[in-house]
A and B are shown apart, each in its own frame.
Chain A
């Protein structure tokens, strides 16, 4: 196959929030930039974020970045790196105000400022009471944000390659990153995008689970590409199960519903969160609420004929408030649950939502790997931001509204770092290896030539079912061990997938087969990392690591206060220390403590 070569200063893969924010930085600095995206930018999954973006603007209640930082470290169950967390919380006001200046239609307070609502795990004065920190545009914050960022990129004349799917990362013999190979959906043609800098902003891989709030496109493409190219993946055992996915459909119901006063109830009508989190109740951290719900269901207090869900009740709120602050949620409840939340509660279950781990980066957006004794040595030419990256600000559990903040802060930061490295002359256009496209072409040739293989649909389904059963909200040693073996078998089957459709033009089957390769990397990383971590922390809770005096909540800091690094080759595991030291002297390290809400 003939492979065209295109050369840029920088190539960004992904045009969701992080990719668009990074692109803006590069376009405005005059770098020749290509943004590759497999969907039109406003179709990226940032569009589905609902409840808001965190910033300690203090528009309605007193607030400051120290409190936000404390909440984030505590939310992460101390697995987050405190330098990156300080950086993010300090930058929050700046990036949110910028977004407002770009035209984002935030809701407003009576005095004209950005409207803020309470959200899970966000508190004032170090955990004392809920704080209003989530900056919101009704319950469509992600949509409003993504469109505002796209619009600003239209103004900046950013060059997009729309409906191009990136296939593989190109590294040379030194391990430096030189760009990616990509396929144009409309023609099936493969090109090399050769660049001095490559930024991955490819989002998460929530589609490894059977029940997920995530879009079809959330297949971990960047994470898979990085893993195949020998980059380790960090903390992949930590997946967020959002407490409120619509039972059966999986569609997200924002935590903002509880921020506006919504209450979770079991079959007896009890507000059960009072028992699990006496202080923040329904607004406790997501991992805590999801476990409480699962416990209620497991102990027979679930609702419905199969007792398999709980109810999210907002019938006590004024219909005006629902229409004004939660109009999208009302539409979703009517469409996907068949109930009008003004009149009846919404059936909900914990649903896979967010990938806390990812490609290891520092707070500047540089991808970092262990090398020559340094656990965080930057990979030349390679940057990542947003859900595909692990900075790590979310640690073992992300707080709601910190994901939109993450993509703004680190999208911008990665962009700034690339611009600095470019302007200082540090970034060079290294010559492409002769075999730069060979891996991608071999993958495509394998798919075209495969006979007697299995369908992508069947193998994908088996992967999703395996992940759901073996690496869910609660984890069990025997299930994890079995899961490692099963996911290994599924990975072998994925090597022999067959597509019937061989067309060059917009071949969805080919795209899904290539996406499955990426999902499989993520699924293996998750299962293997989870099996190995013999403690409970944040979203990773094991039956054999219970709450004891020595290990509060089952957390074993003596042995497991460290980041996992998983290498695809041979399922090898490595670990690196958590950075407990903030970036500046403006703040003391947040000391280890037992996490309660």
Chain B
């Protein structure tokens, strides 16, 4: 890769000084080693230190730098900057209140995650050694436990946009199924009760934006389908 200049159009808003948000046109020269969108944003920050966004691991496991990139949610650290059409348009994740620039208030997102009781429930006295689980049973958790809580999915979901307080959203439901699918968990009944409601689970209309945007290649829609199956099986 060589040096090249990249054009951006970035959502800016600092409540401390801006009356309202605006889109800023800005360009930056990238070094040959700058490959990912996050590299470009770090380069931009060296030029304008007021450009605000979250970031940490820069390798797609911490879930900090989710944003809306040319209209689609994704992680800046896993997006090749040269693959993007210019000007690269960056906005905060849709549907959540903006704190500043590309930083959103994720309170509602985490509230929904917490609402599904995201922890293993097993009321048997803990054995001296590990609880046994067959490799096949453990495999049921693949595609579920890898979620990094970046919120790309929930904030691309129209059902979540409309009812962020009532619909758990794809990330929370993926986590709910992660515990329903765990052979060590004993709380299946209560977990299903917790979701048996016109909104919490059933507002998923299988639009599948969540699957389309997940940077980890996970499939919340499938997990939601499996919870619905469990509901049906329980009812008959």
Contacts and interface: CB of A to CB of B under 8 A. Distances in A.
Nearest to A509: B49
Contacts of B3: none
B4 interface: no
Nearest to A507: B52
Nearest to B77: A335
B148 A42 contact: yes
Contact of B119 (A40, A45, A105, A155): A155
A504 interface: yes
B114 A45 contact: no
B134 to A, nearest CB: 5
B118 to A, nearest CB: 5
A144 B145 CA distance: 7
A509 B132 CA distance: 49
A48 B61 CA distance: 6
Contact of B184 (A103, A144, A509): A103
B146 A509 contact: no
B49 A501 contact: yes
A331 B100 contact: no
Contact of B122 (A98, A101, A251, A507): A101
Contacts of A152: 119
Interface in A539-560: none
A249 B46 CA distance: 19
B205 to A, nearest CB: 28
Interface stretch (B11-19, B160-168, B195-203, B226-234): B11-19
B135 A106 contact: no
A500 B62 contact: no
A153 to B, nearest CB: 9
Interface string B117-154: 11110100010111111110110010001101100000
A499 interface: yes
B63 interface: yes
A215 B99 contact: no
B130 A114 contact: yes
B155 interface: no
A457 interface: yes
A114 B135 CA distance: 10
A328 B59 CA distance: 10
A505 B14 contact: yes
Nearest to B136: A108
Interface string A90-127: 00000001101111011111111110000000000000
Contact of A216 (B50, B55, B146): B55
Contact of A455 (B46, B53, B133, B135): B46
Contacts of A512: 49
Interface in B1-37: 14-17, 33, 35
Contact of A505 (B16, B122, B149): B16
A541 B121 CA distance: 49
A508 B120 CA distance: 36
A309 to B, nearest CB: 14
B56 interface: yes
A509 B114 CA distance: 31
B62 A108 contact: no
Nearest to A103: B120
Interface string B73-91: 0000010000000000000
A457 to B, nearest CB: 4
B212 interface: no
Contacts of A103: 119-120, 179, 182, 184-185
A248 interface: yes
Interface in A140-193: 140, 143-144, 147-148, 151-152, 154-155, 186
Contacts of B15: 505
A336 B61 CA distance: 14
B72 interface: no
A562 interface: no
Given A42-B62, A155-B117, 11 more contacts: A39-B56, A40-B106, A45-B56, A101-B122, A103-B179, A106-B138, A112-B132, A155-B119, A455-B46, A503-B100, A508-B45
The 3 A-B residue pairs with the shortest CB-CB distance in the complex, in nearest-first order: A103-B120, A112-B132, A501-B50
7 contacts: A48-B57, A100-B130, A101-B122, A101-B130, A143-B146, A215-B57, A215-B62
